Amino acid sequence: MGVEIERKFLVRGEGWRTANGTLMAQGYLCRGRERTVRVRIAGDEAFLTIKGPGDGAARLEFEYAIPVADARELMTLCERPLIEKTRHRHHDGVHTWEVDEFHGDNAGLVIAEIELDAENEPFTPPPW
């Protein structure tokens, strides 16, 4: 069973910006309190992700690689609007920060997240 423990932060400034990022498109087949089912295309890969309800910073998460062609078809079934973003990764010791720069309907929004091994695991947020 997969468990996701993550923290998310609103980003300010430009110190996070890197030259390279991965363009992503994602949509939700189901989005509710009890479960979320998401399809995502990231570069030349695609994934189907199922997340359970949150308990603090932790929740069940199952992610499966799927063919990109299948993901494109599944996107036609997703709630609108679809989400477009560029993901930038920053390595900080044992942690990796994922910074998402949103486009389209969410242009201007930048969010950073970090995945942890335990809810009380210490980490230092970057200055941005």
DSSP string, the chain: --EEEEEEEE--SSTT--S--EEEEEEEEEESSS-EEEEEEETTEEEEEEEEEEETTEEEEEEEE--HHHHHHHHTTS-SSPEEEEEEEEEETTEEEEEEEE-GGGTT-EEEEEE-SSTT--------
Q: Which of 28, 47, 102, 128 is catalytic?
A: 28
- Active-site annotation holds for 64: no
Name the residues annotated as catalytic. Answer: 28
